[in-house]
Structure 1
Amino acid sequence: MNVPEVIPIRHDPDHYTRTIGRCDGGQFFAWVVAAFPEGWSGDDWQPQKRWYAVLHRFDEAGRHLDSRIRSTGTTADGEERAVAAARLLLEEWLDALPGRHYRDIAVAPFEVRFEGALFGLVPEVEEDEEDGVWMEFHPGGLGFCAPWDGCYDT
C-alpha cells in the first residue's frame, strides 16, 4: 500500500480536528490532549497523565516547522482544571496566528518528543493486516489510512 507524502486531514468543526487550518505562511494542527511518558506502566496513573496545549505548525507544502507544547497539569492535580488551562492557552496561541482560517490541511509525517512523550504524525504498521499501514497522530490516537481522504478513526 502506498502512503502519500502528505496526509490529508479534514477539518471537523464538531470533533477532534476543529482547531486545524491555514494561516499566513502555512498550516497548523492545534489541540488539547493528554499523554503518558513513553514506557510508563503501573497502577498509579493519575500523576503520569499530563494534559497539554499543542500547536504544530507546517509550511505550505506540509513540512513540519515547529511545535509549541506546554503542560498544564496532571489528572492527579485536577483534570478539569488542567484541561481548562490548556484550552485557554491554546486559544491564546490560535488568536496570535495571522490570517487564521479553520479548514482541511495536508501534512507530512513528523515526530517531536516532549517530557518523555511522543507528539506527531507517525507511520504505524500492522504486519498481519492486508492494508496494515496507517498514520497516527500521537498522542491522542487519531488514525488516518487508505483511501487517504482526510477522515480519521479513533
Structure 2
Amino acid sequence: MSVPDVIPISHEPDYRTSTIGRWQGGQFFASVTAAFPEGWSDWDGDDWQAQKRWCAVLHRFDEAGRHLDSRIQFTGTTAEGEQKATAAAEQLLGEWLDALPERQYRDIVIAPFEVRFEGALFGLVVEEQDEDDGGVGAELHPDGLGFYPPWDGCYDT
C-alpha cells in the first residue's frame, strides 16, 4: 500500500492533536514540541539537554492540504529550564492561534511536507517502515507522531 496524497489527522482534544483544525485560509497544525538538530544522535552525551530545543510551531495549509508556510520559534533548551521554555512556547503559540480568523479545532487532511529550521527537521515526512507496518508510513517531525495504513487519522507515538 502506498502513502496517499493527503493524510488524515484526527483532532483529539486534550492530547497531542488538540491544536489542529481549520481557519479562514485553510487548515493548520500547531504544537509545542522539542527538536534536536537533524542528524544529532548522541542521546547519551553530556550535552543532550543543551541540544533539546523547545519551540512553538504553526504549520498552515490550503483547503486541499498543500503546505503554505510554517512559523517556528525556539523558546529555550531543556538545559536552560524545560518548564520556562515550554511555558514561553505555549504563550507564543496561543497568540499565533488567536490570530487565525474563524479558527475551529477539528480533523485535518494534509499532504506530506518538509521544512528545515535552524538545523532541525519539521514536517510530515514519508518513511519506509517494516513490512509489519505495511511497508510505508509518514511521521510528523519532530513531534514523533506516526501515521500508517489504513490511513484513518489515528497515529502512534
Q: Same fold (TM over 0.5)?
A: yes
Secondary structure at the counterpart of residue 96 of structure 2: helix
Residue 58 of structure 1: how far off its partner (Å): 0.1
Q: What TM-score comes out, normalization by structure 2 length?
A: 0.95
Match of residue 54 from structure 1: 57
Matched AA of 1:39: G
User: Which residue number corresponds to residue 105 of structure 2?
Assistant: 102
Q: Distance in 2 between matches of 1:127 and 1:71?
A: 33
List alignment gaps of at least 5 residues for structure 2. none
Q: After TM superposition, which residue ranges in structure 1, 4 or more long, deviate above 6 angstroms?
A: none
Structure 1 residues 130 and 101 mapped into 2: Cα distance closer, same or farther (>3 Å)?
closer
Q: Establish whether residue 139 from structure 1 lines up as the match of residue 134 from structure 2.
A: no
1:5-154 paired onto structure 2 within 5 Å: 5-42=5-42, 43=45, 44-126=47-129, 128-129=131-132, 131-154=134-157
Distance of 1:35 and 1:94 partners within structure 2: 21
**Post-superposition shift, 1:126?**
2.4
Q: Deviations over 1:9-60 (max 9, x none)?
A: 0000021000000000200000000010011233120100000100000000
The code of the aligned residue for 1:87 comes to E
2:2 alignment counterpart: 2
Q: Distance in 1 between matches of 2:3 and 2:128?
A: 11
Give, as a single letter, the amino acid of the residue that structure 2 aligns with 1:138.
H
TM-score by length of structure 1 reads: 0.97
Deviation at 1:135?
0.8
Residue identity (%)? 73
> How far apart are the structure 1 equivalents of 2:133 and 2:113?
25
Distance change (3 Å), C-alpha of 1:116 and 1:45: same
